[in-house]
Amino acid sequence: MTLPNWENDEATRRVASDLAGAAVVQHLDAGRDVVMAQYFGRLGYIVLLEDLAREHDATFVEVILATSAALAIDRFRARRRAMNERGEHHPERDIADTDVEAFILDAVDRLTRLPTARPASRIVPVALDTTEDEIYRRLLSVLGEKARLSTRWL
């Protein structure tokens, strides 16, 4: 299901956010784990997700993939280029090519400061030579630490 014009209409974006929250609650109530693999630039949304987890007796695990701005910019542009070549829409297509660097610099800055505000955040370092398989292993390791405490995550 897609919501028409969600990229350009703030009210529709809020509906999409509400639908995502409802899906999280449904999965948690069914006893399933929930993984939301995306960048959350607003601390308030992270807190909302943590509250949802607590309300549904799930463990909230916040993971930050820490990398340099240069690498993040390069991977963002490469992913956008590959998706365009396949005729797919990039999730952040509303960011103009000329604004990508500023957007990523801001995102990396926010993520770098996040552990100060949220000391329970888990950091997974990502360097240029880190393979996807290694990143996955590191992520599993971080989740495994929390899994010993609870079998339900958000």
**What is the Cα–Cα distance from 22 to 49, expressed in whole angstroms?**
11
On whether residue 109 sits in a domain, the answer given is yes
**What is the Cα–Cα distance from 35 to 154, expressed in whole angstroms?**
6
Q: How many domains does the chain have?
A: 1
- The chain-wide mean pLDDT, for the chain, equals 84
pLDDT at 149: 45
pTM, two decimals, is 0.75
**123's tokens:** 């950091």
On whether residue 136 sits in a domain, the answer given is yes
On whether residue 118 sits in a domain, the answer given is yes
What's the rounded mean pLDDT across residues 27-51? 84
Domain that holds residue 115: 36-147
On whether residue 7 sits in a domain, the answer given is no
On whether residue 16 sits in a domain, the answer given is no
On whether residue 68 sits in a domain, the answer given is yes
What's the rounded mean pLDDT across residues 112-118? 91
